[in-house]
Structure 1
Amino acid sequence: MRKFLLILMFVLITLPLFAKDMLVEIDVHNRNNFKTIYRGKFDIVDRQGTVFTLYIKDKQLDELKSLGFSPKVLIPDIQKYTAEGIKRGARIDTSLTGHYHTYAQTVVIMDSIANANSSICKLDTIGYSVNGRLILAMKISDNPNKKEDEAEVRIVGCHHGNEWPSSEIPLYLIAYLTEKYGTDSYITDLVDNREIWIMPIFNPDGHEAQTRHNANDIDLNRNYGYMWTADGGDTKAYGQPETEAMYKWSQRENFTLGLSYHTYHPAVNYVWNYTPNRAADSTMIYQYAQIYGDSTTAHGDSYWVTEGYDWYQTTGDLNDYSYGIDGVDDVTIELCHEFMPDSTELDSTWHINRGAMLATINKAGQGIHGYVIDSVTGDTIKESVINITEIDWPVFSDRETGDYFRDLLPGTYTVEAWANGYREKTISGVQVYSDSGTKLDISLAPDTTADYYAFKLVEADIDNASTPVINAHTSWALGKPDGKYVPLNNNGQIVLDMGQNTPILGNFTVFEGDDGTSNETYKVYASNTFNGPWTFIADGSGTETFSISGSGLSSARYIKIKDSGSNASSGSTAGFDLDAIENIKTNGPIAIILKDSLDDTGGDGKLDAGESASLYLMLKNVGTDTLKNCTAILTTNSAYISIFDSTCNYGYIAAGDSTYGNDYYTISASDSTPSQYEINFSLIVTGESYTDTLIYSLTTGGHSDYLVLDLDPDHSSGPVIDSILKALNYNGSYTTTFDSTVFPNYSSIFVCTGIYSNNAHIDNTEGNALHNYLVNDSGRLYIEGGDVWYYDPSQGYYDFCPDFGINATSDGNSDLATIGGITGTFTAGMSFSYSGENSWIDHIDPTGGGFVIFDNSSPAYNCGIANDAGIYKTVGVSFEFGGLTDGSNNSTKSALADSIMHFFLGNTGLRNNTAYSLANGKELFNVKNHFSNKLNILFVSPITSGAKLKIYNVTGRKMLSKDLNIRKGINKFSLNTKLHTGVYFIYLKSNNKEFKRKIFIIE
């Protein structure tokens, strides 16, 4: 603990040296001006619809007027307003009732409480402000001078210096916990089983001057290194001594949950703030936020619970940094209904928030925890990564003790753990119970042959106003190259920590992810401090190996990859795509699996049930010496897979070279192999004085009935659609992540974009991916959204209207009422009242092959169009499925969902090709690929069964025989054949029924 000699108290508040600050309100009628506000130097403190409340400098008032706004001044002088509020009752006492406290008073109170409660309190200085003031944090725990295997909670006040209530409520909590410890069993249990860190004032200089910003006029809550932009006024992330101190403190400690306090509009604001998409832990994050909100409701003031982006967008804030970098669920709590309410309101504000704060501290103990341990020495591993397979967002072991804590909702999970120098480990069936922690120590076996990889993210500045990367999964840059990648965006950059004990000493390899554009360019920098100075290493292109030799650095802990700004890719995969950074640990040969290729019986590049395949694996030597006399043996423990030829000879592989070898592996999948199932293999690679085991995996083929792609920030429809389709026994998946590589695995896709102002926009890259799914995969596509048809295309987003047979006629209004089905279509007889979001509902008419399936009663306009284009089918609506109210008979959401699926999976086929009927009116279609020996067969089956397919020519000669596994819904098979122009007969026998049809092939 820092020792304090004496602090003189001055109740008189000195006048600030900052320019005068103001609070103004503007109405942004034109949504095109939203970006002007977001990307301008205007600090947003509230948004209600189109009305923004801005914290500005007085000189910015004229700037707003010049932009065409008519600002209404709410507070003409923030400093004067704050000073007047303080004078109403500043004094020192440890009961803290009804008084504001200056920074100096707060320091004395914290020091006094720490000295009086030394058995449970530790006062620490985590850093200094621009003007040298102490940034203090109090640790409250039963053993405050010892780090234990306990969940750590971080509570931070006063990022913005004028928001004084945000420092008072954490101060109340310090006093309350210390006063109640030993007498209140609930509080005693929390203190005994948590490490609670409380920092009332993070911005001492701003607090002292009553200004939002710090002494360098920088908004500290826009200065962190996750999706940082220059919005906060600085030239780089972590550019202020306060935010640098927060970063270092958060790396030294290992927080589980966090609360960050602000004022102006009572709210519980959870991540993300930079994107409308939900976080990987969105279900837990929302539930915890709702617990806080519900508690405030029960205690006198109902705080609004909102995802940050839904309120207004921010970049580089503490919430997003905490979750994006450290895996900490950090929530912003906005107190009060103004910046500086009368001090007499502080007691009631504390009462409203007390139960919620305690509930959050309690929830920090729900999940899994333990130590990561070296299985040979028994020592803890200080830098390890713990991931939950079902969530795929990591947390990290404590850098000092090796313990970890992962907050989770009750359920059963699969836990993955890895560390540099150790073999990965996966533990299945880990059970988590409500309000309790499951102890799980994880032992990792040392691996002296393995190379090292980036261990943790430091900074990700990849958000860009013109081409935003939405919901970038930045943790995918960690660990080994695995095909998952992080797009850096145009001119974006990412900084990675290679590990304190595993810095780069020589060579390292940057692996490029495959977004369809190869050899994208970037710049590489290295440093031994997280925020520079940076040493330029080299320009890079694609996957490339670099060396720090000659750079002047003998080692490098941190690597920065910056996009060159000249790559052709755009949209959600813009810029260089980073898969991994490998620290090549030692001299000698090192083999990795660089590429794979599957030549299967069906010819679609996927291993289906009952199918055999030739598997080609390319090895690359990323080491420094030639790999001599290399051979490899493929093995698997999967009961579904048989390996008939398991050995391949790769010969000599020079450093930097790659080869498929002179052979391939022959594998087959049993008839019972599940669709979309991951098969894991081990490839045992040997050479002269070299042995290594590489992990390889592939996913089996087959189709699922549907994918719900929920891009709607509010998730108003996606979960409803998914739940109903599952109840109707359709097989499918739900996701909030746009990943076009999985689209061919689904017979139909339901895309939810939402209604303004809680809506997502589909850019041209994403739109083209959905278009390609329609035309290349005979897709079935449903899209809903209030702006996706008319407004979004006018703003440069993808125009789906041609694909959907839609003519968008108007941006609409807020006038959805009764939505009626159309006679003669699959919605005949349906009628729904509408209670969903209802703003700017696009008006749409049919064109081409489109036909109306829904209209609005009054005012009369069309709001649903279906289209049967032969090769694909679509349904487009401008309302939210989740906003429909169930009525009688077939006017239910379940009946509508089933009708859409019947429309999608009913009469299917390829335009301009001969169709021939099977059972129950289903149809089978065939078309030959003119540029290969592949015959593509697409059909729909009402059941799941096995089948035998045979093809004969007109002389009766059998040209092909194949066993198929047919599933209910759309089936697509791509068969390798050498069929030339002519007439052929297809026999398909399934479920004791046989169907015979004649086909024509024209080359």
Structure 2
Amino acid sequence: MDFACLWLALLLPLVAALDFRYHHQEGMEEFLKSVAQNYSSITHLHSIGKSVEGRNLWVLVVGRFPKEHRVGIPEFKYVANMHGDETVGRELLLHLIDYLVTRHGKDLEITNLINSTRIHIMPSMNPDGFEAVWKPDCYYSNGRENYNQYDLNRNFPDAFEYNNVSRQPETQAVMKWLKSETFVLSANLHGGALVASYPFDNGAPVNQMVLVCLSNVATGTSHSRSLTPDDDVFQHLAHTYASRNPNMTKPDQCKNKMNFHNGVTNGYSWYPLQGGMQDYNYVWAQCFEITLELSCCKYPREEKLPYFWNDNKVSLIEYIKQVHLGIKGQVFDQNRNPLPNVIVEVQDRKHICPFKTNKYGEYYLLLLPGSYEINVTVPGHEPHLTKVVIPEKSQHFSALKKDFVLPFQGQLGSLPIPNPSCPMIPLYKMSPSHSATTKPSLFLFLLTLLHIFFK
């Protein structure tokens, strides 16, 4: 009898099945610590900081080398619940963790994904806000903001306008976290709509008269799009997620709210937003991030959670795979020493904060299949241009690998290089030469005026 019980115990899962209910801080911590203990070879649990009320901001890392970055393995992240009353994403990420660790070694696709990607998952960026909500509500509660009543998705530096707000502990923790890792791709999970929204969330307004006119228009669709140099990639990323969610692409899912074509929108086109996290990721951290609105109701009843998981499971996995788009590699000197802080960008899509190699000389560029001219530049020296063709069919869980050897001897540290970081100012507003694609188009502005005056 004892032998049979022993075998039965060995056959049972290491972690009890995660139930579909809302997990408050204590229950969430219990689950995360259990996963970290029972799947220690592929997970690492750590806190990136504390909330205003002292709650840990937990991140669980899943990967073949969960405790440290390895050259050639891209860093991916999901962040949820930065608005404390938008709760679906929080639970979805807990179920995603459960799905990944329990299928590792059993499901070939999941195993390959984990072995080739370092996946960081933060179920709650605003645990104080979540705990402040006293009952579920579809629209708004005082748990949206953090304990100090700041909206965390308006709390980051902005590339277009001065955002002179007090940086909150949760925001500061995320900004520090972004500096500590070479994040390539990310998504933040929200609620209140069904749409995948891509940068920019803010833009350079034409003039004050435009703002006055636009404020008189009933819907946000009258705003022009505010596009990044990588708009093709961002649209692909948003469509990748939305197209695999059976409800996100359907019209009129959220009654009395905006409809989005194919479940996708440019953030600025929906409504301008100052100090958002996705724009900060892209401009200052070289990390492509989109915003996922996953439920019409911000805080739905618990019995709805299994349906949200079924709708989003495939999208969540498929989106992680996109971190392997494009091209990656290292930049070396003539002696094969890795060169940090070298600019590596596509020639015709320069970023206002140039994308640079990390301390290992690594770079990652998310690109769709096609032909590109890669510009590798040490500041103060002539650029090194190389044509690269990214094939239609990407390599198995890996971007195209391309290393560059520059005609330098010795470490780049001996070369004159400016501060690799970008200043925390509204870069696009201050720079007269910024891309015209970031400005609302004159054509759409004229259409807006016609709509206002002749409706």
Q: What TM-score do you get using the length of structure 1 for normalisation?
A: 0.37
- Give 2:255's aligned residue: none
Judge conservation of contact 2:238–2:264 (CA < 8 Å) in 1. Answer: yes
* Pairing partner for 1:355 from 314, 317, 321: 314
* Pairing partner for 1:150 from 73, 83, 87: 73
Q: CA deviation at 1:301?
A: 6.4
- Give 2:201's aligned residue: 273
More helix by proportion, 1 or 2?
A: 2
Which structure 1 segments of 5+ residues have no match? 1-92, 463-471, 473-486, 489-512, 514-572, 580-710, 712-734, 739-750, 762-784, 792-810, 814-1003
2:190 match: secondary structure: strand
Q: CA deviation at 1:298?
A: 7.2
Aligned equivalents of 2:171, 2:160: Cα separation in 1: 12
Q: CA deviation at 1:97?
A: 3.1
- Give 2:437's aligned residue: 736
Specify whether residues 787 and 99 from structure 1 end up closer, same or farther in structure 2 by C-alpha distance, changes over 3 A only: closer
Q: CA deviation at 1:790?
A: 8.8
Aligned equivalents of 1:146, 1:438: Cα separation in 2: 23
- Give 1:315's aligned residue: 274
* Pairing partner for 1:205 from 125, 128, 135: 128
- Give 2:182's aligned residue: 254
- Give 1:397's aligned residue: 357
1:786 match: secondary structure: helix
Aligned equivalents of 1:438, 1:290: Cα separation in 2: 22
Matched to 2:426, the amino acid is D
2:101 match: secondary structure: helix
Aligned equivalents of 2:448, 2:151: Cα separation in 1: 33
1:358 match: secondary structure: helix
* Deviation readout 1:102-158 (Å, 9 max, x if unpaired): 012111111111111111111122112122221111111112123121121110011
Q: CA deviation at 1:94?
A: 4.6
- Give 1:388's aligned residue: 346
Q: CA deviation at 1:347?
A: 1.1
Q: Does 1:244 align with 2:172?
A: yes
Q: How does 1:305-344 map to 2 (within 5 A)?
A: 305-344=264-303
Q: Does 1:122 align with 2:44?
A: yes
Q: CA deviation at 1:812?
A: 1.5
Aligned equivalents of 1:186, 1:102: Cα separation in 2: 31
- Give 2:148's aligned residue: 216
RMSD: 2.8
Judge conservation of contact 1:385–1:455 (CA < 8 Å) in 2. Answer: no
Specify whether residues 425 and 256 from structure 1 end up closer, same or farther in structure 2 by C-alpha distance, changes over 3 A only: same
1:218 match: secondary structure: coil
2:448 match: secondary structure: coil
Aligned equivalents of 1:369, 1:790: Cα separation in 2: 46
Aligned length: 392
* Pairing partner for 1:288 from 237, 240, 243: 237
Q: How does 1:684-703 map to 2 (within 5 A)?
A: none
* Deviation readout 1:424-466 (Å, 9 max, x if unpaired): 422223434433311111223338896433423242336xxxx
1:127 match: secondary structure: strand
Judge conservation of contact 1:228–1:316 (CA < 8 Å) in 2. Answer: no
2:245 match: secondary structure: helix
More strand by proportion, 1 or 2?
A: 1
- Give 1:108's aligned residue: 30
Q: How does 1:397-546 map to 2 (within 5 A)?
A: 397-399=357-359, 401-419=360-378, 424-436=383-395, 437-446=399-408, 451-461=416-426, 472=428, 487-488=429-430
* Pairing partner for 1:186 from 97, 109, 118: 109
- Give 2:58's aligned residue: 136
Judge conservation of contact 1:366–1:433 (CA < 8 Å) in 2. Answer: no
- Give 1:787's aligned residue: 448
* Deviation readout 1:148-184 (Å, 9 max, x if unpaired): 2112111001101111212111111111010111111
Q: CA deviation at 1:307?
A: 0.8
Judge conservation of contact 2:249–2:263 (CA < 8 Å) in 1. Answer: no
Judge conservation of contact 1:410–1:433 (CA < 8 Å) in 2. Answer: yes
* Deviation readout 1:380-416 (Å, 9 max, x if unpaired): 22323211113223433234x3322111100111111
Higher CA-based Rg: 1
Aligned equivalents of 1:332, 1:316: Cα separation in 2: 14
Specify whether residues 354 and 222 from structure 1 end up closer, same or farther in structure 2 by C-alpha distance, changes over 3 A only: same
Matched to 1:141, the amino acid is G
Q: Does 1:166 align with 2:92?
A: no
Matched to 2:404, the amino acid is I
Q: CA deviation at 1:304?
A: 2.3
* Deviation readout 1:920-975 (Å, 9 max, x if unpaired): xxxxxxxxxxxxxxxxxxxxxxxxxxxxxxxxxxxxxxxxxxxxxxxxxxxxxxxx
- Give 1:297's aligned residue: 246
Aligned equivalents of 2:182, 2:158: Cα separation in 1: 18
- Give 2:192's aligned residue: 264
* Deviation readout 1:308-355 (Å, 9 max, x if unpaired): 112111111111111121232211111212111111111110111111
* Deviation readout 1:697-755 (Å, 9 max, x if unpaired): xxxxxxxxxxxxxx9xxxxxxxxxxxxxxxxxxxxxxx7367xxxxxxxxxxxx9645x
Specify whether residues 337 and 789 from structure 1 end up closer, same or farther in structure 2 by C-alpha distance, changes over 3 A only: closer
Matched to 2:150, the amino acid is I
2:67 match: secondary structure: coil
- Identical positions, percent: 26
Specify whether residues 94 and 157 from structure 1 end up closer, same or farther in structure 2 by C-alpha distance, changes over 3 A only: farther
Aligned equivalents of 2:301, 2:98: Cα separation in 1: 21
Which structure 2 segments of 5+ residues have no match? 1-14, 134-142, 204-224, 252-261
Q: How does 1:509-908 map to 2 (within 5 A)?
A: 573=432, 736=437, 753=442, 759=444, 761=445, 785-787=446-448, 811-813=453-455
Q: What TM-score do you get using the length of structure 2 for normalisation?
A: 0.79
Judge conservation of contact 1:267–1:335 (CA < 8 Å) in 2. Answer: yes
Judge conservation of contact 1:418–1:425 (CA < 8 Å) in 2. Answer: yes
Aligned equivalents of 2:406, 2:28: Cα separation in 1: 46
Judge conservation of contact 2:325–2:367 (CA < 8 Å) in 1. Answer: yes
Specify whether residues 336 and 790 from structure 1 end up closer, same or farther in structure 2 by C-alpha distance, changes over 3 A only: closer
Aligned equivalents of 2:53, 2:41: Cα separation in 1: 32
Judge conservation of contact 2:160–2:202 (CA < 8 Å) in 1. Answer: no
Matched to 1:98, the amino acid is F
Aligned equivalents of 1:145, 1:201: Cα separation in 2: 20
Higher relative contact order (CA 8 A, sep 6+): 2
Q: CA deviation at 1:225?
A: 1.3
- Give 1:902's aligned residue: none
Judge conservation of contact 2:194–2:248 (CA < 8 Å) in 1. Answer: no
* Pairing partner for 2:157 from 225, 228, 233: 225
Aligned equivalents of 2:318, 2:289: Cα separation in 1: 14
* Deviation readout 1:59-113 (Å, 9 max, x if unpaired): xxxxxxxxxxxxxxxxxxxxxxxxxxxxxxxxxx853332110012111111111
Matched to 1:353, the amino acid is N
Judge conservation of contact 2:83–2:190 (CA < 8 Å) in 1. Answer: yes
Specify whether residues 439 and 198 from structure 1 end up closer, same or farther in structure 2 by C-alpha distance, changes over 3 A only: same
Aligned equivalents of 1:396, 1:460: Cα separation in 2: 19
Q: Does 1:235 align with 2:157?
A: no
Judge conservation of contact 1:226–1:325 (CA < 8 Å) in 2. Answer: no
1:115 match: secondary structure: helix
Judge conservation of contact 1:367–1:406 (CA < 8 Å) in 2. Answer: yes
* Deviation readout 1:619-650 (Å, 9 max, x if unpaired): xxxxxxxxxxxxxxxxxxxxxxxxxxxxxxxx
